[in-house]
Amino acid sequence: MHTMLTKERERLPVRVDVATPAGSARRARRRIRPSTLFALAPMAVVVGVVYLGAMAWTVRLSTTSSKLLPTYDFVGLDQYERLFANARFLVSLQNMVVFGVLFIAACLVLGFLLAVLIDQRVKAEGLLRTIYLYPHALSFIVTGLAWQWFLNPELGLQRAVREAGFESFAFAWLADGETALYALVLAGVWQSSGLVMVILLAGLRGVDPDLWKAARVDGIPAWRYYLSIVLPLIGPMIVTATVLLAIAVVKLYDLVVAMTKGGPGIATEVPAKFVMDHLFERANVGLGTAAATVMLVTVLAVLTPWLYARYGSTSGRPA
C-alpha cells in the first residue's frame, strides 16, 4: 500500500505559480476598453437622469407639503407620519403582505411541479411549455379583465353552472370583501406560475442525471429525491424567481384596477393604487410621493440581499 501511494505521488504534477494563458485572458477581459465605455455612456446617462433622478425627486417631494403641484417647502417627516396614520394605507400594506405570501408560495409550488412534469421529457414538451408560459405574455390588465368576466356572477362561472341546472351554486368572490383578495391571488398565480416553471426548468436541466440513477439504486423515493437533493441544487434559481415575484407584488396595480378597482370598499386596496389615487385623483402629491418612497424602500429591501448574494459574495474571490 505504501509503495502504491508513493508511486501515485510521483505521478502528481508539481504546482508552479506562473501566469497561465487562461489567467492572462481573464485579466484582459477585466480591462474595460474606451470604446466599451463610450457605448455604455448613453444608457448610463438615461439611468442616472431618468431613474436615479426621478427617485431622488420623488424622495424630495415626500418631504414637502405639495398638493396639486409640486412645491419645495421642507416639512421633514410630516407626510410619513400622516401616511402611517392613514387607515387606507395600512390596509393596503396588509393586503400586499397577504397577497404576496400566498402569491409567491403558490407560484413557486405550482411552477416547480410544472417544471418537474416538463423535465420528464414528456411528449409534446414544446407545446406544453408554450401553453403554460403563454399567460405570462399577457399584461395584467388583460388577465384582470378576463378573470373579472370569469368571476362575474352575471356572466361567468356562476351563471354557466346555474344554467346547467345547479340553481343554488354561488361563486361570487369579487363581490365579497372576504374573498376578493383571494380572487386576485388566483388570477396572479395563473399568469405568473409559467415564468417560475421556465426558470426552475432551466435549473432542473442542469442537474446531473446520474444523481437520479444513484437515488433509484439507493431506494430513495422520488419526492425525497426532489426535496432533499434537487431543491438545494437549484436554490439560486428559486431565489431569482422569488425576487421577481416579490417585485411584482410591490408593483401590483393593473390587476387590481382591472378586477376590483380596490373594492369592495378597500378590501383589495394596494400601495400602488394608493399612490396613483393620491397623485392624480386626490391632488395630494406630498402624501402620494411618501407612499411611493415606502414602495421604493420595500423594493430595495427585497433586492439588496439578492444582489449581495449574487455579486457581493464573489467580488473578493481571486480569479
pLDDT tens digits, one per residue of 43-54: 888 888 888 888
Among the ranges given (13-17, 106-110, 123-127, 162-166), the one the predictor scored with the smallest mean pLDDT: 13-17
Of 135 and 30, more confident = 135
pLDDT tens digits, one per residue of 55-104: 899 999 999 999 988 888 999 999 999 999 999 999 999 999 999 999 99
* pLDDT(6) > 80: no
Whether residue 94 contacts residue 270, with contact meaning beta carbons closer than 8 Å, is answered with no
* Residue 19: its H or E element: none
Of 64 and 319, more confident = 64
pLDDT value of position 1: 42
pLDDT tier at 314, thresholds 50, 70, 90: low
CB-side neighbour CA atoms (13 Å) of 113: 6
pLDDT tens digits, one per residue of 296-306: 999 888 888 87
CATH for 80-314 is 1.10.3720.10
Q: Which amino acid is at 195?
A: L
pLDDT value of position 10: 47
Q: Which amino acid is at 229?
A: I
pTM of the model: 0.82
Whether residue 93 contacts residue 274, with contact meaning beta carbons closer than 8 Å, is answered with no
Domain definitions of the chain by residue range: 80-314
Q: Which amino acid is at 268?
A: T
- DSSP per residue, 213-264: HHHHHTT--HHHHIIIIIHHHTHHHHHHHHHHHHHHHHT--HHHHHHTTT-S
Q: Which amino acid is at 294?
A: V
**Residue 255: other Cβ atoms inside 10 A:** 26
Q: Which residue has the cell 397577497?
A: 99
pLDDT value of position 15: 44
